[in-house]
Structure 1
Amino acid sequence: MTHIPHGDHLIAGEKIRSETRFSSAPAEGQAHEFSAGTPDLVAQACAAAHAAFDEFSATTRDERAALLEAIADEIEARADAITEIGSAETGLPQARLQGERGRTTGQLRLFADHIRKGDYLDRRHDAALPDRQPLPRPDLRMMQRPIGPVAVFGASNFPLAFSVAGGDTAAALAAGCTVVVKGHSAHPGTGEIVGDAVVAAIARLGLNPGIFGLVQGGKRNVGEALVTDPRIKAVGFTGSLGGGRALYDLCASRPEPIPFFGELGSVNPMFVLPAAAAARGDQIGQGWAASLTMGAGQFCTNPGIAVVIDGADADAFANAAKEALAGAAPQVMLTDGMAEAYRSGAARVGAGKGVRSLVTTTCEARQASPYLFEVSAEDWLENHDLAEEVFGPLGLIIRVRDAMQMEKVSRSFGGQLTTTLQMDDGDTVLARSLLPVLERMAGRVLANGFPTGVEVADSMVHGGPYPASTNFGATSVGTLSIRRFLRPVCYQNLPDALLPADLG
């Protein structure tokens, strides 16, 4: 049975309809009408989250774990409806949506297990030393506590895993923070169903309904109202550099500045070292092409740039990538706006000084086909515009003269989410010299793989120096992401009766 959206916001457990409406723009099928957000609705959702925070932050780890598991159950109960409307809205294959749904429920359950263990609290105790000279030491206990209501912006490219009940929301709820989500207008029907699942889980467990709010659509002033609301204490964001930087600046300019955890894009450079290029350059080229085109290149970890030493091995790598990309079928992009931005980005790269086109295509409407360009290291180093992300299946090969110039090029990149070494045993010396640069560049360094798969695990880092993200010490994937929404509190000489239960 086809799901018909109700089209309402979700605030404090209630469906709220606004007079201003907007229409979805699905890749296929019927469009639907949704209530559009306003600053007043944002204020209502923030007030509810603020009112519920004290109660929710005092819940036990078991109670919050049960909530996360209940949300996962409710999402799975709506699996068919989510897949149907998600695929229609985004153009993503049903198998991709099903896999992303599994990732979403998996990370909810992962956080449930994580908080039950309690290690994230980082509990510390320095016992009192009343007889210490020249001064006694008080009893000191410390642990992490929730930061307050959190604002989450749904991402365009992950309608489930980085949106309404995605990683930011899961981490915030696990920490004991209430959440207000700004739904993304690219997939409002998908967001609505997931929002209904969260509300149902909260109601089933008898928790305060103000724990969660979802405000759909709206103009730019809706997002601005959310990050500047004085009741919001942190923001999670995945999106463009321009939009993220504007929100970051608003957070910093508030009377009470708050942390903005923004993931703003990355070109994820791959360095093909000489021994690897000689032994398997064509295989690396084919694998790179497959990674570039995965999901129409609409992944923040898409490896858009390859650096290789010029010569016959570079030719083999480039020719293999060219052949694979030239034969790739067009794919539907998530929105018309993304398709237009992709075409504009390809035109910008292609017009760069010294840039040569290897694969040129025509992209119409919402379709995207691959582009492949190459450029010398000298021209690359003179043109900083080439280092800007193009969101889509576009690759750029940088040909360097030698290992020394490869290292110089490596130092030219800004902050990245990932960087990759394609290497064999004979490349160890060069790889060792590059590694300190790559560590400073990115949050994740890979060898002999491709970064478009992001494992949800304790040790994953999905973040990096600016402009990849706005906080180099944070990650938006994996259990470490909970730390974004916690702060340490020290309890000095407090009687046991007043200490939080987790310190008892």
Structure 2
Amino acid sequence: MTISGNMLIGQQAVSGQQAEIHAVNPATGETLSPAYAGGSKAEVEKACALAEAAFDAYRETSLEDRATFLESIASEIEAIGDQLTERGVAETGLPEARLQGERGRTCGQLRLFASVVRAGEWLDVRVDPALPEREPMPRVDLRQRHIALGPVAVFGASNFPLAFSVAGGDTASALAAGCPVVVKGHSAHPGTSELVGRAIQRAVKACGLPEGTFSLLFGSGREIGQALVADPRIQAVGFTGSRSGGTALMATAQARPQPIPVYAEMSSINPVFLLPEALKARGDKIAEGFAASLSMGAGQFCTNPGLVIAIEGPELDAFVAAAGEAVKGSAAQTMLTPGIHDAYEQGVNRLAGHAKVTEAARGQAGETAHPAQAGLFVTQAEAFLNDPALQEEVFGSTSLVIACADVQEVRRVAAELEGQLTITLQMDDGDLDTARQLLPTLERKAGRILANGWPTGVEVCHAMVHGGPYPATSDSRTTSVGSAAIFRFLRPVCYQALPTGLLPEALKDANPLGVSRLVDGKREV
């Protein structure tokens, strides 16, 4: 398939007129072709107009037709073949196996949402039949279902060119909910984005859906993104990226005459608590697992373990020594973009130059154009508690160990943490009381709490929560991974005393869709 360098608006390929975007191979520094001329407010206008025109028809597609559409996208992505992974490797520096795995995850979550759509439980149908004889007051007929919010703007992420990008979780869940999607592709991997965008475009056409069901825009800087969020036809936003980028979109969304929700995943350092008995019994094994998690993918995961918290003493010293040796042996890996590499270097230098922070280990220096040299640093709890800057995320394979005087100081550190995607407990049976004391605080701080595992690796399933209090995300009530992500793009509507001929199919007495319903307070399956 030829990569054209065009945006995709509905069924059209459109050339922009603004500043050009060039992908850069981060391993070599080579500029890749073709150039992608950025769009303007005119392209935003066209894409949003098409999305609005598509909305009412698309949101009322049958459950089967919408599920088939999601499955068709997955099949079209798979049909691209090796070209997709080859382009992804060139644009990101990620290994081929990683791209192949990410393609599988992307297609898997599309198929997961197809099964969710077919089941229909997301409609949350509730029927309270009329009770005309009820005393002292009769009850009218009341029926509720969830409907799609409207067109959704999705921003592709830098660190997952497939799974959190054009056809990633935000797009899949929004389409599953019945929302047309306008994607702002990430400038780091435009060719990969175009290939996937064309796959969605083909699926829209093959399934006979309105062309405005999907569009893909490109643009350097913030003009396109801000214009997209400000457009009155956009009704929600999905974003994965920096805290500054997410908060800027949130400000735009809240400044509109009609504010809209922004579901932004932004910043998390994913603390790991090393509880005393576990550290004493198996500190070396914990160090091994920690170093592997830290260095995975050059640390460019939103769940990378960027903070370690433990009680000071010989056991922690041994852990730092063992983890340090593992870090020293870790090979440098290519980072995703020159910008991410520069930000990582600044973050590492900030730690290295801090008067209260000690360098424990640095990994091997790399020979590619933009390598991530792993790092491990140590500070005292008092310094951490007195300097909010030590909570700033270093996006890459560097972590900070916090040495605490006792359990009470561990709890103080936990209480001062910002919102997180994950918090991990490394614990043995003898640590249960300590963990029990910490748990209420950790529940307030994170969306996922792990015991004796590592946060890197997010299972796409029904129970997963990939979210958390600010700044991990902009809305701690939601998840961006797993089947519950569909609820971000839905809202309830109640129908009072409507005649049967006007009722949506899901609310009719005969239950023609065969979905689970709550009828007069009793669950009917």
User: Normalised by the shorter chain, which TM-score bucket?
Assistant: over 0.9
Q: Which runs of 5+ in 2 are unaligned?
A: 509-525
Which residue of 349, 352, 355 corresponds with 1:350? 352
Residue 133 (structure 1) aligned with residue 135 (structure 2): yes
What residue identity is the alignment partner of 1:25? V
Partner of 1:335: 337
Residue 490 (structure 1) aligned with residue 494 (structure 2): yes
RMSD: 1.1
Residue 405 (structure 1) aligned with residue 409 (structure 2): yes
Return the offset for 1:398.
Answer: 0.5
Partner of 1:466: 470
CA distance in 1, matches of 2:366, 2:332: 8
Partner of 2:506: 502
Partner of 1:396: 400
Question: TM (normalized to structure 2)?
Answer: 0.94
Partner of 1:325: 327
Q: Percentage identity across aligned positions?
A: 55
CA distance in 1, matches of 2:62, 2:183: 23
Q: Which runs of 5+ in 1 are unaligned?
A: none
What residue identity is the alignment partner of 2:314? A
Contact 1:90 1:186 in 2 (8 A): yes
Which residue of 70, 79, 86 corresponds with 1:68? 70
Q: What secondary structure, in the 3-state scheme, does the structure 1 residue paired with 2:416 have?
A: coil
CA distance in 1, matches of 2:39, 2:296: 33
Residue 51 (structure 1) aligned with residue 50 (structure 2): no
Contact 1:269 1:306 in 2 (8 A): yes
Aligned length: 502
Partner of 1:422: 426
Q: What secondary structure, in the 3-state scheme, does the structure 1 residue paired with 2:216 have?
A: strand
Question: TM (normalized to structure 1)?
Answer: 0.98
Runs of 4+ off more than 3 Å: 360-365
Contact 1:350 1:357 in 2 (8 A): yes
What residue identity is the alignment partner of 1:155? A
Q: 14-23 vs 399-408, which deviates more?
A: 14-23
CA distance in 2, matches of 1:373, 1:92: 26
Return the offset for 1:352.
Answer: 2.4
CA distance in 1, matches of 2:41, 2:393: 31
Residue 373 (structure 1) aligned with residue 384 (structure 2): no
Q: What secondary structure, in the 3-state scheme, does the structure 1 residue paired with 2:470 have?
A: coil
Which residue of 443, 459, 474 corresponds with 2:447? 443
Q: What secondary structure, in the 3-state scheme, does the structure 2 residue paired with 1:25 have?
A: coil
**After the TM superposition, which residues 84-483 of structure 1 pair with which residues of structure 2 at under 5 Å, given as runs?**
84-360=86-362, 365-483=369-487
Return the offset for 1:219.
Answer: 2.5
CA distance in 1, matches of 2:489, 2:412: 38
Change (3 A) 1:363 1:354: farther
CA distance in 2, matches of 1:156, 1:23: 14
Residues 299-322 of structure 1 deviation map (CA, whole Å, 9 limit, x = unaligned): 000011000111111011111110
What residue identity is the alignment partner of 1:7? G
Contact 2:380 2:402 in 1 (8 A): yes
Contact 2:331 2:366 in 1 (8 A): no
Residues 435-485 of structure 1 deviation map (CA, whole Å, 9 limit, x = unaligned): 000000000000000010100000100000001000010100000000000
Contact 1:355 1:375 in 2 (8 A): yes
CA distance in 2, matches of 1:370, 1:381: 24
Residue 31 (structure 1) aligned with residue 32 (structure 2): yes
Q: What secondary structure, in the 3-state scheme, does the structure 1 residue paired with 2:477 have?
A: coil
CA distance in 2, matches of 1:30, 1:467: 34
Residues 394-448 of structure 1 deviation map (CA, whole Å, 9 limit, x = unaligned): 0110011111111111111010000000000000000000000000000000000
